[in-house]
Every structure is written in C-alpha cells, then in structure tokens.
Structure 1
Amino acid sequence: MQFEEMGNMSGKTLMLLPGTCCDWQTNFGTVIPDLSEKYHLICVNYDGFDGSDNIFPDMITVTEKIENYINEHHAGRIDGAIGSSLGSSFVGQLVMRRNVHIDHAIFGSPDLDQSGKISAKLQSMLVVPLLTSFTGNKEKRNKSKEKLKKIFEMDDENAEKFMNCFSKFNPQSIKNEYYTDLLTHLEEDISVEHTKAHFIYANKMGEKYLKRYKKYFHDPEIREFDMQHEQWLFGGKKYAEPVLKAIDEFMEMPI
C-alpha cells in the first residue's frame, strides 16, 4: 500500500481513493493541481496497484489498512474522503465500520453493485477479460482507445493514460479487486453522527444508481451532473470545474 501526502498541508484533509484497476496518479491526475491548492491530500494506491509485486488481497483487508493509516497518522479522523467508482466502496466501508471518522464522505458516481458468490464469479468471468484487454495488438488498442474517447469525451492523451494504467497491473490483482468488491456489502440507511454522505450523480448512468444512493445512506447530499460515469476526471474542464466546485461546497457544509 502507498499513502502519499501533498498539497496545502494546512488545509482540510481529503483522502483520494482510486477506482478499478487504477492508481491515484492516473485516476485523479487531471484534478490534483486544483485540489492541491486548497486541501491536504492523502493519495492512496492499494496493494497490487502501488508498483510493488504484492497482489490485491480483498476489499476488507485493504479497508483495514486504510483504517490503520488514518488511526496512526491522523488520530483516527480526516475531514473528507472521495472515492472514484470502486474507491467509493472503501469510503462506504470506512463510514459504516466506524473504526475511523470522516466528516465528509464523497462518492464519485459509484455503481455500488453487490451480489452473491455465484453471481460475482459469473460477472468476473465476463468483465475481467475486458479490463485486461488493453495489452493487445496495435489495432485492438486503437479500437479500445477510440471507444474510450467517444464514450467519455476523452482527448487522445487521457485515453492513452487510461489504457496504460489498466494494462500495467497484474491480472490477478484486477480479478481480486473486481470480484471482492461485489462481495463487499453495505448496510441500508447508514447514518453516522457528524458524518455527511455526498454523492456525485452522473445522470447518464441511469436512475437505478440514484435509488441505490438513497437506499444505502440516510439523507445523502446528492448533486446531479449531466455526464457519464466519472467523466469529470477525464472529460476536461467542462465536466471537472462544476464537480470541483461541488466538492468545495461539500467540504464546507456543517455536519
């Protein structure tokens, strides 16, 4: 595991938790300069996605390591944490388990998928090969890149970074991360005193995800954006600036 602290060291603490098959450098790279101006950032890379030879074990083991870091280095409390996609599962677990305290739990347009073991295995058999397909021949890579650019309105540079990120990690780590995320469940109507849950809702994902946010968390603060899943991180200033403004507003809300 890697924990790297940077930014405005006198500002509020904000932990950044990347999504599936990503390190923080790729996942949050386009917004780190803006966030660093205001916040004391704690950037996390999980086992298997930190440049080491370690294999990602499972979501709960990694959650425990994040809790240990917050307890040891920040006296058990941080001002905020934002999870990108799968990273939101860690945010949810940190809040629900109550072993550390987060004032502002920010969920970056997650799907919050949960399933049983059989369904999780079947889904993994279908999805993991797609997640590890970016190491193919040049023609295959170019087709994948064009799909990313079209779906997320990425420019060529960000699409290439995204593909390189997915292709550099051990397939076993990718499988373990995807599979155990499906098995890591949240309780319904989670409510923790002095913690506020905030959701970045990408409405092009569909309303079923909005219903999930309201199912798992009590009275969440939800901001709707006309974008695809996590498009604010790869689609340029058009998408990033409104979300960054919302994050600032989340972090200033009374709890």
Structure 2
Amino acid sequence: MQFYEFGKEGNLAVLLIHGTGSSWQGEFAEVIDGLAEDYTIICVGFDGHDKNDHNTFRHINDQILGIEKYIKEHYNGHLYGVYGSSLGGSVIGKLLERNNVQIDIAITGSTDFEQKANPWAILSTALITPLFYYLIKAKHPVKILRNFLDKIYGDSSKVLGVMYKGISYKSLYNVYYTDLVTPVADNIVLQNTIIYCTYGTKEDTKTLTRRYIQHFPKAELVALGGMHHEEFLIFNPDEWIDMMKHLLKRETYSYPSNVR
C-alpha cells in the first residue's frame, strides 16, 4: 500500500480512496490540484493497484488496517475528511465502525455496501472477475462491451482509462470477494463525524438509499441527477471539486441540472 500527499503541509487533511480495479491517478488526477488549494490531499494506492506497489491485494481488512496505521503515525489519529469512491466507501464504513481514528467528515461515492454469504459470494466473484479483468486488460474490448459502456457513460475509453492495467487476476478476485464477505455494521452514529453518501440517480437508488440509512441512519444523502456509478467524478471533475468543497465546509450542495 502506498500513500501520496499533495498541497501545503499544515492544512486540514483529506484522504481520497479509490475503487475496485482502478488507481488513485485514474480516479483523482484531475481533482487533486483543485482540492489542494485548500487542503492537504492524501491519495492511497491499495495493494495490487499501484505501479509502485508489487503486493497482491489479499483482503480488504489489510487496507483498513494500513490506513488506520498511516493516520495514527502521520496525523495523530485524526483526519478532517475522507472520500471513498465505490470500494473506498466500504473502507470508510469499516473505519467508522471500528472508530480507531477520528474522521470529521466522511463522504462515500456510489458505494453499494453489498454483502453476500458463501457460497453466493464465491459464485458472484467467479462470474464478475473474469469479465472485469478482461475489460481492464484488453487493448480493444469486443464491440458489444464497448457499446454497452458507451450507452451508459457515453465514452467507454474514459471509463476504462480509470482502471489500473497492472492489476493481477488474483488481486481483482480478492477485492471482490473480501468486500462481499466483510460486512459493515448497521446503525453507525458517531458524535463527532458528519457522514454524506453520494450516488447517481441512474443507479439502483432504492437499494442504495436503503443501505445507506441502514448503516448510517443520520447520514445526509446527496443525489446526483442523471448520473451512473461514479460518473460525476470521472466526467465532471470541476463540478465534483465544487461539491467536495461544499460538503467539506458542511454546506448544502445543490446539484446543477445542466451538468451532463
């Protein structure tokens, strides 16, 4: 696991956590400078998801423990803010559940918080991993898959560009599997933490909102109109920065209707 810091030392610190099969550069390269104007930005590169890290991703718990250790050693156990994209939101959920470090503002992005017991977790992972691995590795994915992504996002190449090409099959498999079988507790309420859950309205909003309230009953839900899974971050980085600056200041964020 690797950590990368940007911005002026001494500013309030905000940690950015990437998602499954992606990289911190792929997801956050276009937003770091905008946030680093006001905050110290820390990006984490999970095991197996970073060109400077040659470890295999073995379990989501390893990443949680590694992040806790980093926060304790470098920030006295206290961060001002954390944003977790997709899988990164699951990590945030476990950090909040364990409550071993203080996070003032926690923001999840399109995290589904899906949980499965075996054998369903094994079956689901066995079905999804080969397809996703192919999409990440293929220089030119078959037309039917490109068309599928184009239909959803409008630009399959930009979506695939977020992915980390160096990931191993074992790392990708372990990410899916261990995330599914590592539950996040229900009814997480922390006295000194504000929780925001952001999601696109073209996702399965009924399921997502039910799970958000299940895990974080006092969270503020932020619906991003017309957006798919993390589309807002990938395709609208400037507007995403604006959203983050509002939420990190504990201000209401009004999503503009004219954004793609």
Q: TM-score, length-normalised on structure 2?
A: 0.88
The Cα shift of 1:49 comes to 1.1
In structure 2, what is the equivalent of residue 7 of structure 1? 7
Please identify, of 59-68 and 9-18, the stretch whose mean Cα deviation from structure 2 is larger.
Answer: 9-18
Maintained 8 Å contact 2:79/2:102: yes
CA 1:198–1:17: 2 relative to 1, 3 Å = same
Instruction: Could you tell me which runs of 5 or more consecutive residues in structure 2 were left unpaired when the two chains were aligned.
Output: 252-260
Q: Rate the CA distance shift 1:65–1:148 in 2: closer, same or farther, 3 A.
A: same
- Matched with 2:256 is none
Provide the identity percentage. Answer: 32
- Aligned CA-pair RMSD: 1.9
Q: Which runs of 5+ in 1 are unaligned?
A: none
Pair 1:222–1:159, CA change in 2 (3 A): closer
- 1:42-81 matches, within 5 Å, as 42-51=42-51, 52-81=53-82
Equivalent residue number for residue 99 of structure 1 = 100
Q: Do 2:212 and 2:219's aligned partners in 1 also have CA atoms closer than 8 Å?
A: yes
Question: CA offset at residue 7 of structure 1?
Answer: 2.1
Tell me the distance in 1 between the aligned counterparts of 2:18 and 2:133.
17
Aligned to 1:236: 236
Q: Residue 9 of structure 1: CA displacement?
A: 3.1
Q: 1:118: which partner in 2?
A: 119
In structure 2, C-alpha distance between the alignment counterparts of 1:187 and 1:95, rounded to whole Å: 9
Instruction: Normalising by structure 1, report the TM-score.
Output: 0.90
Distance 1:34 1:110 in 2: 23
Q: Conserved in 1, the CA contact under 8 Å of 2:199 and 2:230? A: no
Letter in 2 for 1:210: T
SS in 1 for 2:37: helix
Task: Specify the alignment match of 2:174 in structure 1.
Answer: 176
Correspondence for 2:254 = none
Q: Distance in 2 between matches of 1:249 and 1:208?
A: 26
Rate the CA distance shift 1:148–1:31 in 2: closer, same or farther, 3 A.
Answer: farther
Q: Deviations over 1:14-37 (max 9, x none)?
A: 100000011100012232232222
Post-superposition Cα deviations, 1:171-219, rounded to whole Å, max 9, x if no partner, equal 1000001100001111111011101111112111122111110110021
C-alpha contact (below 8 Å) 1:145/1:160 kept by paired residues:
no
Cα distance in 2, alignment partners of residues 118 and 251 from structure 1 = 40
Q: What is the CA-CA distance between 1:146 and the residue it aligns to?
A: 4.1
Which of 243, 246, 251 is 2:243 aligned to?
246
Q: Distance in 2 between matches of 1:139 and 1:67?
A: 38
State the SS of the aligned residue for 1:103: strand
Q: 3-state DSSP class of the match of 1:149?
A: helix
Residue type at the aligned position of 1:213: Y
C-alpha separation in 1, matches of 2:77 and 2:57 = 24
Counterparts of 1:73 and 1:180, CA distance in 2: 27
Comparing 100-109 with 218-227, greater Cα deviation is found at: 218-227
CA distance 1:149–1:30, change in 2 (3 Å): farther
Question: How far apart in 2 are the matches of 1:146 and 1:248?
Answer: 34
Residue 143 of structure 1, CA deviation:
4.8
Higher helix share: 1
Kept in 1: contact 2:149–2:156 (CA 8 A): no
Q: How many equivalent residue pairs? A: 247
> 1:209-243: per-residue Cα shift (whole Å, max 9, x none)?
11110110021011111111100122235xx51x4
CA contact (8 A) 1:152 1:234 kept: no
**C-alpha distance in 2, partners of 1:139/1:215?**
38
Q: Which residue of 2 aligns with 1:33?
A: 33
Name the CA distance, whole Å, in 1 between partners of 2:26 and 2:138.
20
Shift of 1:166: 4.3
Distance 1:252 1:93 in 2: 24
Instruction: Tell me the distance in 1 between the aligned counterparts of 2:141 and 2:21.
Output: 22
